[in-house]
Amino acid sequence: MKDPEAFRLEAVATLRRRVTGRAIVAASGGIDSTAAAVLTQQALGERARSIFVDTGLLREGEVEKVGAFFRASDLEYTVVPAAERFLGALEGVVDPEEKRRRIGTAFIRLFEEEAVRFSADSLVQGTIAPDWIESGGALRDTIKTHHNVGGLPKDLKLQIVEPLRDLYKDEVRTLAAHLKIPRADRQPFPGPGLAVRVSGPVTVDRVAVARRANAIVEEEVDRAIAEGRIARPWQYFAVLLPVRTVGVTGDNRVYGEAVSVRIVESIDAMSAVAAAAPWELLRTIAERITRELTGKVSRVLYDITDKPPATIEWE
Ligand code: XMP
């Protein structure tokens, strides 16, 4: 992007032309949708409302962190609590693509309801070029149904507006800096949230285990970064696996599930390398996960697969 101010002016003008009534913005807390939300607020003022959905599939402290990020970006926003709806939609579902479809539909239905509440006829999303390219909108085969692109029902009652549709990530970063959105050292987090980090059935209990395991990985890696033991990886997280595996506590054999820890280096998520994480860091993570989640997790694995052949997420 040569001139972010020129882009901003044009995007604001286009938003004003396309949205004649009111709009809601699907704000995930990521840089893309935050930039789209700030542009929409600049274009429409009171006629825009940014909505952050608490799906019940978010990470520990995420609602608070995202709220602070929005406030620092001068964005007006509303948090919609929707854990029951999302977990209900996922009941009994184990197929990863089906999880994504159900979550996509739940998001859309929720936004339709919020639109009715706000008398909006448009939905603004932070879709960027790689999102629709990966979702089969252009040259590439369908790699994955991203929640913000796939799963759109045919009977959608809202006009979809995507002000960042033609931008690539580095251009969004330039734009975000220009819009005075603070830099957040936030790792990418998939739209379907912890649902795709809970392999197998998505239950309240299993989500809670994955959430804590993720938090432990984040805490320990962040500590290692802060102490200069490692450089900041691209992504670092835990995945709960539906495996019954045995462990010992004292004299007892206890069955729990397994957790896979994933730490990857990448430039753009198109390819990635499993990080050669320090042994001590991995041992600390394994020790904390098995201790803090005794009876739930009895084994911790480290995923050493690159992308390709694997993907970054497990599902
Ligand atoms: P994969 O697993 O395909 O992930 O190597 C590439 C990057 O995309 C993130 N990811 C998603 N982001 N909706 C999103 O918005 C999704 O459904 C989704 N799935 C994966 C992933 O965390 C990684 O950064």
Sheet holding 48-54, edge to edge: 77-81, 48-54, 23-26, 122-124, 159-161
Q: Based on the structure, what is the number of domains in the chain?
A: 2
Provide the pLDDT for residue 157: 84
Provide the pLDDT for residue 152: 63
Q: Which residues of 101-124 are buried (b: 16+ CB within 10 A; e: fewer)?
A: bbbbebbbebbbebbeebebbbbb
- Which atom of ligand 1 is closest in space to residue 189's alpha carbon? 22
Mean pLDDT across 50-60: 97
Q: Are residues 105 and 219 in the same domain?
A: no
Provide the pLDDT for residue 102: 93
Spatial contact of 314 and 272, defined as CB atoms under 8 Å apart: no
Q: Are residues 146 and 174 in the same domain?
A: yes
Please tell me the residue having the least CA distance from ligand 1 atom 18.
Answer: 190
Cis check for the bond before 130: say yes or no (omega within 30 of 0): no
* β pairing state of 23-26 and 48-54: parallel
- Structural domain for 290, as ranges: 197-302
For residue range 70-105, what is the model confidence (pLDDT) as tens digits?
999 999 999 999 999 999 999 999 999 999 889 988
Mean pLDDT across 277-290: 98
* Last residue within a domain, chosen from 178, 205, 238: 178
pTM reported for the whole predicted model: 0.91
What residues does ligand 1 touch, defined as CB less than 6 Å away? 100, 144, 146-147, 188, 190-192, 235, 269, 307, 311-313
- Which atom of ligand 1 is closest in space to residue 311's alpha carbon? 5
Provide the pLDDT for residue 156: 80
For residue range 175-203, what is the model confidence (pLDDT) as tens digits?
999 999 999 878 989 889 999 999 999 99
Classify residue 76: in a domain, yes or no.
yes
- Hey, which of 197, 312, 314, 315 would you mutate to test ligand 1's pocket, going by the most ligand atoms within 8 Å of its Cβ? 312
Query: Given a cut of 50, is residue 139 above it in pLDDT?
Result: no
Indicate the SS3 state at residue 295. coil
Provide the pLDDT for residue 143: 38
List, in sequence order, every beta strand (DSSP E) within the chain: 23-26, 48-54, 77-81, 122-124, 159-161, 235-249, 252-265, 273-274, 297-302
Higher pLDDT: 144 or 283? It is 283
Classify residue 186: in a domain, yes or no.
no
Classify residue 206: in a domain, yes or no.
yes
- Which atom of ligand 1 is closest in space to residue 266's alpha carbon? 24
Classify residue 183: in a domain, yes or no.
no
Spatial contact of 25 and 49, defined as CB atoms under 8 Å apart: yes
- Hey, which of 127, 144, 237, 263 would you mutate to test ligand 1's pocket, going by the most ligand atoms within 8 Å of its Cβ? 144
Classify residue 51: in a domain, yes or no.
yes
Query: Given a cut of 90, is residue 24 above it in pLDDT?
Result: yes
157 CA distance to ligand 1 middle (Å):
27
Mean pLDDT across 30-51: 97
For residue range 142-179, what is the model confidence (pLDDT) as tens digits?
333 444 555 566 678 899 999 999 999 899 999 999 99
Q: What is the mean pLDDT of the chain?
A: 93
* Last residue within a domain, chosen from 143, 178, 213: 178
Q: Are residues 242 and 100 in the same domain?
A: no
- Which atom of ligand 1 is closest in space to residue 188's alpha carbon? 24
299 CA distance to ligand 1 middle (Å):
25
Provide the pLDDT for residue 120: 98
- Hey, which of 306, 307, 313 would you mutate to test ligand 1's pocket, going by the most ligand atoms within 8 Å of its Cβ? 313
Please tell me the residue having the least CA distance from ligand 1 atom 14.
Answer: 190
Classify residue 68: in a domain, yes or no.
yes
Instruction: Report residue 132 as tokens.
Output: 């629709």
Classify residue 185: in a domain, yes or no.
no
* Last residue within a domain, chosen from 178, 213, 230: 178
37 CA distance to ligand 1 middle (Å):
21
Spatial contact of 80 and 52, defined as CB atoms under 8 Å apart: yes
Provide the pLDDT for residue 144: 39
For residue range 213-268, what is the model confidence (pLDDT) as tens digits?
999 999 999 999 999 999 999 999 999 999 999 999 889 999 999 999 999 999 98
**Which CATH number fits the domain that encloses residue 144?**
3.40.50.620
190 CA distance to ligand 1 middle (Å):
5
